[in-house]
Amino acid sequence: MAAFAEGTPCWVDASLPDVEAGKRFYGELFGWTFSAGAGPEYGGYTQAYSRGRNVAALAPKPDGRMPTVWGIYLYTVDAYACASRIRASGGQMVMDPQPVGPYGGAALAADPGGAVFGLWQPGSHHGFEAQQEPYTYCWSEVYTRARDAVDVFYANVFGYVPEDQDDAGSGVEYRLWSPPGSRPGAETAVLGRSLITDAFPEIMPAHFLVYFAVPDVDESVATVKRLGGRVTADPFDTPHGRIAVVADNQGAVFALLSEPRTGPLG
């Protein structure tokens, strides 16, 4: 399996109060199957599979005060060196790098705006076995109020190459980040950066939004509702595809993305 570039999203997991309920929800929404769950030494971490390939995980929250969220992990060849760059660039370590058995090493960090992300240094677990196809991870972006500090932070830590997008007059500034050494732009981008504007609730924290590809966003939104989830942004069309933002039946927020419509809209 080809290695991910430094700073590339390589894994996602959901921290949930009830993993069994999560398995029922995502099993029906995405058709995922699940492992029996790791032993107590790994906190009951449960791998999710799409057509037999590793695509995500569900993790029971060890503390009810922790948020119910989808989290993202960025690939690194050296989690300790990356943690040092994070501290030196104005970020904070939420959890210092630590080994996860033979699977690899993990850490949690917060950028200067407060958005939390993970680091993953692979051992036997390399990350996604499938992505960028239906019912798998396809994109993520960080929402922040600290634009300048965050842009400098990710450039220093991961060497991202930026390209600012003209968002068709919407007034929302958006930036794409590509791995170091690549030509910037949509073809090479691995993450996006958006801003938390006045259109969002004042209490909304900085965060990463994880996207999953689906064949039909509207059908998937209907399934989310039927399964007890909720819609936080109704389906809308963009040049990159049709998008909706939803929450599962335990409150973990994520986005759905399908290919752009080719016929008339409306």
Domain residue limits, the chain: 8-122, 136-258
Query: Under CATH, what is the fold of the domain 136-258?
Result: 2,3-Dihydroxybiphenyl 1,2-Dioxygenase; domain 1 (3.10.180)
The two structure tokens encoding residue 218: 């509207």
Predicted TM-score of the model (pTM): 0.94
| C-alpha span between 144 and 228 (Å, rounded) | 29
At residue 1, the pLDDT reads: 41
Q: How far apart are alpha carbons 163 and 259 in whole angstroms?
A: 22
DSSP codes of every residue in 32-98: -EE-----GGGTT-EEEEETTEEEEEEEE-SSTTS--EEEEEEE-S-HHHHHHHHHHTT-EEEEEEE
Which two three-digit tokens encode residue 137? 């991870």
**Under CATH, to which class is 8-122 assigned?**
alpha beta
One fold for 8-122 and 136-258: yes
Q: What is the pLDDT of residues 1-33, one digit of tens each?
A: 447 899 999 999 999 999 999 999 999 999 999
Per-residue pLDDT of the chain (266 residues; tens, 9 = 90+): 447 899 999 999 999 999 999 999 999 999 999 998 666 666 679 999 999 999 999 999 988 788 999 999 999 999 999 999 999 999 999 999 999 989 999 999 999 999 999 999 999 999 999 999 999 999 999 999 999 999 999 999 999 999 998 654 456 789 999 999 999 999 999 999 999 988 888 899 999 999 999 999 999 999 999 999 999 999 999 888 999 999 999 999 999 999 875 443 33
Query: What values do phi and psi take at 145, rounded to 5?
Result: -100, -15
Which pLDDT score is estimated for 168?
A: 47
- The helix, strand and coil proportions of the chain, stated in percent and rounded to the nearest 5, come to 20, 40, 45
Per-residue model confidence (pLDDT) at position 173 = 86
Task: Count other C-beta atoms under 10 Å from residue 115's C-beta.
Answer: 24
DSSP labels, 232-243: EEEEEEETTEEE
243/209 Cα distance (integer angstroms): 12
**pLDDT at site 38:** 64
- What local confidence, expressed as pLDDT, does residue 37 receive? 67
